[in-house]
């Protein structure tokens, strides 16, 4: 199965392991990716707060390029990038005014033929019951799936069924043997880009997430967003400082746990790059 791919900046830098693990599992699942050529910033976290038209123009450039490459389905692993691209697509297809302005100002043309998919949409398609039967390993951990905000919201854009209690990630991890637990922080905010400006706040918010995960007996938190990951993983010391508790629970990308079940090594999956040790997972899984 071939998909277009828009990695975005995080996947090339702070969350390299996300892209590495995705590229690592791809051949085993029969996935092929064609990267959008000459891609630019999606504008996440700041553009939409400054200039609406510009915030659409940035992702629109990417969409126009994807369309030129005739990429029918475009995977956007980063939740923030996904949100920007999906919003831009809706603006471009439904808002004639914006479309015309963009055309006039930036000479962008996009007809809406490219679909935008989250990483979950892709995995859901390729991890069929047959695939799950043939996995060399099983990831039999108690886990909590953490969606954060942008994967599911706003509902108008994402079309997620149970917006406060999504199930997509749970269904995927179940197929590789994990036991997803019900919990309360599934779609709470991690603090996202406040990580830089108000690190304490991120500590507080992520603390709640970790607290709930731990007290439910989870052994790992599964994420599909580089921002969520870095806040829960990289900011662990700040979190512990704020809450005054210690947490050892590792935070894994969904691509990593799948890679694990596919028999890939932690190094192949970039697990060695994590701040919080993933040893507990690696050593005990079968």
Partner 1 sequence: MARIGVFVCHCGENIAATVDCEKVAKACAQLPGVAYSIDYKYMCSDPGQNLIREAIKEKNLTGVVVAACSPRMHEPTFRRACAEAGLNPYLCEMANIREHCSWVHPKSEETTLKAIDIVKTIIAKVRKNQPLYPIKVPVTKTALVIGGGIAGIQAALDIANAGHRVILVEKEPSIGGHMAQLSETFPTLDCSQCILTPRMVEVAQHPSITLYTYAEVESLTGFIGNFVARIRKKAKSIDEKLCTGCGECVNACPIKKIPSEFNMGLGTRPAIYIPFPQAVPNKPVIDRSRCTYFRTGKCRFCESKCPTKAIRFDQNDEVINVQVGAVVVATGFTVLESTFFPEYGYGQYKDVVTGLQFERILSASGPTLGEVRRPSDGAIPKKVVFITCAGSRDPAKGIEYCSKICCMYTAKHAMLYKHKVHDGQAYVFYMDIRATGKGYDEFVRRAIEEDHVKYIRGRVSRVYERNGKIVVCGADTLLGAEPVEIEADMVVLATAGVANPGAEELAQALHISYDRHRFFTEAHPKLRPVETNTAGIFLAGACQSPKDIPESVGQASATASKVVALFSRDELTREPIVAVVNRCAPPLYSTCVGCFMCQTACPYSAIEREELRTRDGTLVKTVARVNPGLCQGCGTCVAFCRSKSIDLQGYSNEQMYAEVVELFAE
How many CB atoms are closer than 10 A to CB 100?
Answer: 10
- Which residue among 126, 163, 181, 234 contacts partner 1 (CB under 8 A)? 163
Q: How many residues contact partner 1, by CB under 8 A? A: 12
Per CB under 8 A, 165 contacts partner 1: yes
Is residue 228 within 8 A of residue 269, CB to CB? The reply is: no
Rounded least distance, CB 165 to partner 1, Å: 6
Stretches 99-107, 127-135, 159-167, 225-233: which one binds partner 1 (CB under 8 A)? 159-167
Give the SS3 label for residue 82. helix
Measured distance CA(3)–CA(122) in Å, rounded:
9
CA angle 24, 8, 10 (to 5 degrees): 80
Per CB under 8 A, 183 contacts partner 1: yes
Per CB under 8 A, 240 contacts partner 1: no
164 vs 200 by CB, closer to partner 1: 164
- Which residue among 72, 105, 162, 245 contacts partner 1 (CB under 8 A)? 162
Per CB under 8 A, 170 contacts partner 1: no
Measured distance CA(233)–CA(221) in Å, rounded:
10
Per CB under 8 A, 184 contacts partner 1: yes
Measured distance CA(80)–CA(118) in Å, rounded:
10
Per CB under 8 A, 215 contacts partner 1: yes
Measured distance CA(273)–CA(17) in Å, rounded:
7
Chain residues in the site for partner 1 (CB under 8 A): 162-165, 182-185, 188, 212, 215-216
């Amino acid at each position: 199965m071939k998909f277009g791919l828009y990695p975005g900046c995080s996947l090339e830098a702070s969350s390299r392991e996300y892209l590495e693990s995705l590229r690592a599992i791809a051949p085993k699942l029969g996935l092929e990716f064609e990267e959008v050529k000459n891609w630019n910033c999606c504008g996440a976290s700041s553009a939409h707060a400054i200039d609406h038209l510009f915030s659409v123009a940035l992702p629109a450039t990417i969409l126009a390029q994807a369309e030129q490459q005739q990429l029918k389905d475009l995977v956007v692993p980063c939740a923030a990038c996904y949100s920007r691209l999906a919003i831009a697509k809706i603006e471009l297809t439904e808002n004639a005014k914006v479309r015309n302005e963009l055309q006039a100002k930036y000479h962008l043309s996009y007809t809406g033929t490219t679909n935008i998919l989250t990483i979950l949409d892709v995995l859901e398609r390729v991890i069929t019951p047959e695939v799950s039967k043939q996995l060399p390993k099983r990831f039999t951990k108690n886990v909590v799936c953490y969606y954060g905000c942008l994967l599911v919201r706003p509902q108008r854009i994402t079309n997620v069924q149970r917006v406060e209690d999504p199930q997509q990630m749970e269904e995927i991890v179940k197929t590789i043997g994990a036991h997803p637990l019900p919990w309360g922080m599934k779609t709470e905010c991690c603090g996202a880009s406040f990580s830089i400006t108000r690190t304490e706040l991120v500590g507080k918010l992520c603390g709640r997430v970790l607290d709930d995960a731990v007290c439910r007996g989870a052994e790992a938190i599964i994420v599909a967003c580089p921002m969520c990951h870095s806040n829960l993983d990289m900011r662990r010391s700040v979190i512990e400082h704020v809450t005054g508790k210690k947490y050892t629970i590792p935070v894994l990308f969904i691509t990593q746990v799948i890679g694990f079940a596919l028999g890939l090594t932690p190094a192949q999956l970039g697990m060695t790059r994590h701040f919080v040790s993933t040893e507990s997972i690696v050593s005990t899984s079968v």
